[in-house]
Amino acid sequence: QSVLTQPPSVSGAPGQRVTISCTGSSSNIGAGYDVHWYQQLPGTAPKLLIYGNNNRPSGVPDRFSGSKSGTSASLAITGLQAEDEADYYCQSYDSSLRGSVFGGGTRLTVL
Amino acid sequence: EVQVVQSGAEVKKPGESLKISCKGSRYSFTSYWIGWVRQMPGKGLEWMGIIYLGDSDTRYRPSFQGQVTISADKSINTAYLQWSSLKASDTAMYYCARVVMTTAGQYYFDYWGQGTLVTVSS
């Protein structure tokens, strides 16, 4: 059971918009800690996608965006492409654990 | 560009010891922390611990404290993850990643190694 809760799967057709939610609690996201997102393509290492709730590292397309409100955060992907098919993970800091926590991951399928 | 390169896959028997490595390059190694993340077969990511390469200050996830040892040798820009007695349940992919510290002890992982697959089987 992950500290941060994500839907196991989402799907969308090419060109569509999908969102992935990440729900935490008062000891992590709700405490005001930042949320970060990672993309893990099949058989590869995770890659930083969004940091500090809504910032994209250099090279990440602006089709990817992040937001945070209350005890939850969301990753939005617009103009869905076949190469976006991957697992997506949210991450934050937890004051009870005094360390990093990840969501359980969401598998995105492009139909 | 920043590079983080891990040692190769390992196959071990239960009870054996193991030390895997993570080498950083093309950045000021001793100015950053390195984190270790476990991914068990078919499962998600789990933070294990972090180490500051400047003075080897180390922080563990409670469930990994005493189960593994995280260390570093700053003279060769390398961090390590070590087991003294492996169990079959240690079978997993282990990733190291450079840590970017932000405010109030928060951090994220910006550059990841390729992963080291550890298989423990009799």
pLDDT digits (tens, 9 = 90+) for A3-14: 899 999 999 999
Query: Quick one: closest CA in B to A57, which residue?
Result: B110
How high is the pLDDT of residue B109?
A: 97
Determine contact: B105 vs chain A, CB below 8 A: yes
Q: Could you give the 3-state DSSP secondary structure of residue A10?
A: strand
Calpha distance A59→B103 (Å, rounded) = 24
Under-70 pLDDT residues of chain B: none
How high is the pLDDT of residue B119?
A: 98
pLDDT digits (tens, 9 = 90+) for B60-86: 999 999 999 999 999 999 999 999 999
- Average pLDDT of chain A is 96
Q: Could you give the 3-state DSSP secondary structure of residue B75?
A: helix
Kindly report the nearest CA distance between residue B8 and chain A, in angstroms: 14
- For residues A83-97, give the mean pLDDT: 96
Query: Quick one: closest CA in B to A44, which residue?
Result: B114
Q: pLDDT category, A85, cuts 50, 70, 90?
A: very high
